[in-house]
Structure 1
Amino acid sequence: MPSAAERTRTLVQSTCSAVLLVPGLPPTRPEQATTEVRTVGPDGDLFLVLPADSPVVRAATHAQDDEVRAVLELTDVAPVSVPHRIRGRAWVSGWLTLVPGQAAPGRMTLRLDVGEAYVDDLWGASAVDPEDFARAQPDPLARYETELLQHLASAHDEQVGLLAGLVERADVTRVTPLALDRFGLRVRFGRGGGHTFDARFDFPEPVTDITDLRRAMHQLFEAAAG
């Protein structure tokens, strides 16, 4: 399974929504706290682009050194229609400093020096050590996951439906691909009365690219059809 650090790093570098919060700062409009760009530096620190008029940016502008503590809150929502669509959340906290001259006009880049991180997702909840976060790499399929899951749900719904046979449940009424990573595919099964359960289908070995993934998915569907 992917480590907690890898899962957190994947969320940070994904397109999931994220807001930057400063404890004690008055509430702001959502768009003023939403990060427009997120990148991770070689030492694991985060570079976040926000509107220049954001109260968070103003707080960092008037701070002395690294006295502004902030929390980046990430929310991962399934890209397909499925009950209980929130797949996970992560929180990365640390200290903010300005990085002048690194963003377009009307924007400002902030550096978040990571002090703590925590993830709560489909795998479970876990604290993440900052050094582990810095060393981790995002899942190689993360950039394609949205498109791949939507494609599976729309173009291969019959094959995905066959996966119900592998869990040996006769009461399944709906089968939806929920999450995909280099280790396997997670599916959410619907039952009568609105009840659901998830099942995980691991690949024979971790995939590294789309070619490997096609081969692994073909093997999985063959097993389901047989």
Structure 2
Amino acid sequence: MSDLGPLRYFLGIEVSSTSDGFYISQERYIQDLLARAALSDERTAETPMELDVHLRASNGDPLTDPARYHHLVGSLVYLAVTRPDISYLVHILSQFVSAPTLVHYSHLRVLRYLRGTISHCLFFPHSSTLQLQPYSDATWASDPLDRRSLSAYCVFLCGSLIDWKTKKHTTVSRSSAEAELRAMALLTAEVIWLRWLLEDFGVSVSTPTPLL
């Protein structure tokens, strides 16, 4: 074995160390993705997705060559490792990889958003209190086809984002309160697992009540 020195770049993930902490980003990966996407102009977008968009499998005409859609969405899935701000959109677009249409492809405007936010990254400070801070939310009956809800959560440790996820419910919730409770249950299970994991590394943390 050989010592390669401080970690700086690994599998498309860049790590920068400063006196304050660590910055983790995928800026170079985004640049490569934009080059492969070959956008026709230099426009940017302020948000990953337009508001109040409800995509269906039947929207628009099928793509003649879905391979490009598969490649771009697959790249976005890996990019979500350091970009939680696109995780919801990636969850939505991933549902149509089996039969993408022109409408689905048009919502890859997220590439323009990434162009304008290419320097965004995650920050992990050297010093802060060892406390897990979990947050959850849910959309009630938001899927236009099966009326199932979506749960989303994020967990901070020492003020740094370490875990996040968007997941569709397996059953239909009969009220927004039920959807929120399912989101809370999903988050609680994740927090318990994180505490067990951290304890295995000898790290003892405190956990406040999950916030909706």
- Range into which the TM-score falls when normalised by the shorter chain: under 0.3
TM-score (norm 1): 0.26
Normalization by structure 2: what TM-score? 0.27
